Structure 1
């Protein structure tokens, strides 16, 4: 069962009916996708004049929640957030799935975020060089990533193979929230977290964001943060994601447009803009067509080409993950 949070408002506008709407997040509470949704939740409710329930359905690198959403009624009572290109990467890496991302109906996108490396402050590590030395010398143990077979799993492999990060043990967790908790609790010394959950970890005073894995500049959020591009090729194609809202197959355009209008209202609201300024999270609205472009066939083909260039293709990546298991 997912973890559900609701704000007590009644009634919904227009074609959405009298029941509350469920906003499915395929990651755990506390991760980047969840934090974006919870920031915008009351504003979306305000515009819809109704109740939004956030339903966290984590697991399998967002595939459990995505498959659940795929099978819901197309009546406007439920929508979700997915994070291409990471979402489409994880889908492509799981040959057991019998559905296509294109089956989902696009609504909008509401922001851009991505990966950083966070480290427990007890180790006194401030940059990527020091992290590499820490693992090499045995001074730090364990490296966390977000789901076996996921985009962050490939990032973890690339950090070892191409960037010399010789961690002793790589450990999968279900999302940025659990990675953050694992690093703060020193279950692992360091790990991959979204910049959103990394900011929360830094605010705790118990961890630091030491490496920006994206191309997006995070200096305003994490002054002095190191960049992985200082040590090799850009990983932006694999580490930057869009907050894309989608609906079950067959959800009509008018219903989706009503939700899109509410998301646009939330994105542009002064409360969200202040949150963006305070946290460094990138909030941006994209319409239905722009959302669809993030997970259409051309986007998936581009991602496949990048994986081919990076490790020799998805078959090679899957073989590597099987060897780890």
Structure 2
């Protein structure tokens, strides 16, 4: 009798889940963006969501929940009901920095199911248009001739950009004078225009205004494929440097969200990303569409996080970074 009851309960539950998924969405879907309105992540996720609505057959509205370098918004996603009506976007800090700091016990990436990686935004080296450096080779030649003298501006000690520059130093056998600008890309722009530094390390998208105005130019991007917007900037791969580093956007739902609903969301965003509307739009902002489906995104997130944490621990061991 107990076995029949269990089987009946399972059958009813399965039937209700299937019916629920078939009816999804029956109300608006909330997209949590853990950064402020008007930023790069916000713009990309909003654009994708507007297009994805057409495929999904329902409204996706964005909610910006700032704070804690994305932790507040991501924890909101982690604690949301696993019914498909709350989805969220995560970036480098969400995946790497916050887990590394390990200060928030409720912050646990295993509480999420990753449904896709949608973009990559490789880091790059950028110089002022009046710089004596015209190419990547110019920089490396001068850095070899003057160890510790060529000034390169990053954003934060221990940041993704810091790791990228340290890797470049090792791979190219050079030594830069690294200067941190915690204010982000805006502070880097001021520094390069005021000649406080010779080079900055950040994404081409972050410097799109100066690049488009001809006030700066990229000399190398840490990627394997050329930027769709700034096609004249060579990649590290082309220069024989095995260095891929940059930010990204991944989409996730609370763990336990019905699989059929996850598949609907994934399909809607894949269609949106591949649409002519999005592909034409994204070419203008220096970001690369870089789709990875749910079957691979979770493993990619864990591998990325683990590899970078090893590098960061190495910096701690060297006394360069404090955890």
TM-score scaled by structure 1?
0.70
Q: Which runs of 5+ in 1 are unaligned?
A: 1-12
Look up the match of 1:90: 97
Query: How many pairs align?
Result: 296
Contact 2:52–2:271 (Cα < 8 Å) also in 1:
yes
CA deviations 1:167-212 (Å, max 9, x no partner) are 25222345xx546655676596443323433445411332211221
Does structure 1 residue 170 correspond to structure 2 residue 180? yes
TM-score scaled by structure 2?
0.71
Look up the match of 1:118: 126
Aligned mates of 1:213, 1:179 — CA distance in 2: 21
Aligned mates of 1:128, 1:42 — CA distance in 2: 39
Query: Residues 200 and 233 (structure 1 numbering): CA distance in 2 closer, same or farther, change over 3 Å?
Result: same
CA deviations 1:253-309 (Å, max 9, x no partner) are 34333322221221121112323555664324433223223224x5655x26xx75x
SS at match of 2:177: coil
Aligned mates of 2:190, 2:65 — CA distance in 1: 19
CA deviations 1:85-139 (Å, max 9, x no partner) are x754434532434344232112223233321122333435323344464895999
SS at match of 2:133: coil
Query: Residues 321 and 93 (structure 1 numbering): CA distance in 2 closer, same or farther, change over 3 Å?
Result: farther
SS at match of 2:101: coil
Aligned mates of 2:158, 2:36 — CA distance in 1: 15
Query: Residues 151 and 22 (structure 1 numbering): CA distance in 2 closer, same or farther, change over 3 Å?
Result: same
Question: Rg larger in 1 or in 2?
Answer: 2
Query: Residues 34 and 125 (structure 1 numbering): CA distance in 2 closer, same or farther, change over 3 Å?
Result: farther
Aligned mates of 2:224, 2:182 — CA distance in 1: 24
CA deviations 1:13-48 (Å, max 9, x no partner) are 9534534523314478443x4443243232123334
Contact 2:91–2:249 (Cα < 8 Å) also in 1:
yes
Q: How does 1:34-113 map to 2 (within 5 A)?
A: 34-48=42-56, 49-53=58-62, 55=64, 57=66, 59-60=68-69, 62-83=70-91, 88-98=95-105, 99-113=107-121
User: What is the RMSD of the two structures over their aligned residues, measured on CA atoms?
Assistant: 4.0
Look up the match of 1:266: 272
Q: Which runs of 5+ in 2 are unaligned?
A: 1-21
Q: CA deviation at 1:162?
A: 4.9
Query: Residues 41 and 16 (structure 1 numbering): CA distance in 2 closer, same or farther, change over 3 Å?
Result: same
Aligned mates of 1:100, 1:300 — CA distance in 2: 13
Match of 1:150 among 149, 153, 159: 159
Contact 1:184–1:201 (Cα < 8 Å) also in 2:
no
Look up the match of 1:223: 232
Aligned mates of 1:191, 1:210 — CA distance in 2: 10
Aligned mates of 1:246, 1:143 — CA distance in 2: 33
Contact 2:118–2:292 (Cα < 8 Å) also in 1:
yes
